Amino acid sequence: MEKGYVNLTVDNGIGNIVFFHPASNSMPSGLLKNLSETIQRADSDDRVKVIVIKSVGRTFCAGASFDELISLNDFDTAVSFFMGFARVINTMRKSNKFIIVQVQGKAVGGGVGIIAAADYAMATDLAAVRLSELSIGIGPYVIAPAVKRKIGLAAFSELSINATAWHTAFWAREKGLFAKVLDSQNDLEEAVLLLSEKLVGYDTDAMRLLKRELWSDADDWDELLAKNAEISARLSLGDFTKRVLQKIKK
């Protein structure tokens, strides 16, 4: 049985989505599917006016499941695997409600993609980020549109080419990935709650129309992210990636 969970609770207009996996909040396909469906459920719930996504533990999200990645052995399965984060990103993009992402710790790969797909993200000073895909012979293709849109091509190049380096939360704030960096978990939770409560009091139609305006440059992402998932799938089945993954496993 796959461990981990995604939970939705609604409190005074705020839809809190919490995800967890014991492997540093890495995301197997089943958990990604659950996260996407939970975001859709919160989006269609009339009680919810703003959505907050957060995780439990020291790490925000360690990206895609390593165990699942190393087990890929055919193209269709690999495409389905890489479409996991693509569906989450597209679901966040298409939501009619603002999505705030609360980042308490480090984020890798697809975890950075979730942050980049937020309408507003806040973090603690422990929330370093890394795109490690190139170091294993793949590349951050699926999340590239979201990350480039958020931080720009130059910063995305730095993050994706220097694939083994951690970039601090303050670097991420400077580049626009985080709107704010707080000193502690308590400060982060208070800041997210304060913003969420303000948004709950705003006009629903005004927020929906503003979100559409903010995402007006991403109408082709259904096709784009699917195409990028196929690129990642082909690379993941190559000899270089298989050798590196086996070396990591040992």
Provide, rounded to the nearest whole percent, the portion of the chain with pLDDT above 70.
Answer: 99
pLDDT band at residue 249, thresholds of 50, 70 and 90?
Answer: confident
Residue 21's CB: how many other CB atoms inside 10 A? Answer: 22
Q: How far apart are the C-alpha atoms of 209 and 212, rounded to whole Å?
A: 5
DSSP type of residue 220: T
pLDDT at 3: 86
pLDDT the model gives residue 54: 98
Mean pLDDT calculated for residue range 17-37: 96
Query: Which helix (H) or strand (E) covers residue 7, if one does?
Result: strand 5-11
Quote the pLDDT of residue 1. 37
Tens of pLDDT, residues 118-171: 999 999 999 999 999 999 999 999 999 999 999 999 999 999 999 999 999 999
Among the residue ranges 2-11, 28-37, 104-113, 208-217, the one predicted with the least confidence is 2-11
pLDDT band of 224, cuts 50, 70, 90:
very high
CA–CA gap between residue 224 and residue 180 (Å, rounded)? 30
Residues in the chain: 250
> What is the per-residue pLDDT across 112-131, written as a single tens digit (0 to 9) for each?
999 999 999 999 999 999 99
CATH 3.90.226.10 is the classification of domain 5-200: yes
What is the arithmetic mean of pLDDT over 82-92? 97
Percentage of the chain exceeding pLDDT 90: 98
Its pTM stands at 0.96
* Contact predicate 177/150, CB 8 Å: yes
Hey, is 237 helix, strand or coil?
coil
Query: Average pLDDT, stretch 172-199?
Result: 98
Q: Under 8 Å CB-to-CB from 131, ≥6 apart: which residues?
A: 108, 109, 112, 140, 143, 147, 159, 160, 163
Q: Is the pLDDT of residue 105 over 60?
A: yes
What is the residue extent of each domain of the chain? 5-200
- 2: confidence class by pLDDT, cuts 50, 70, 90: low
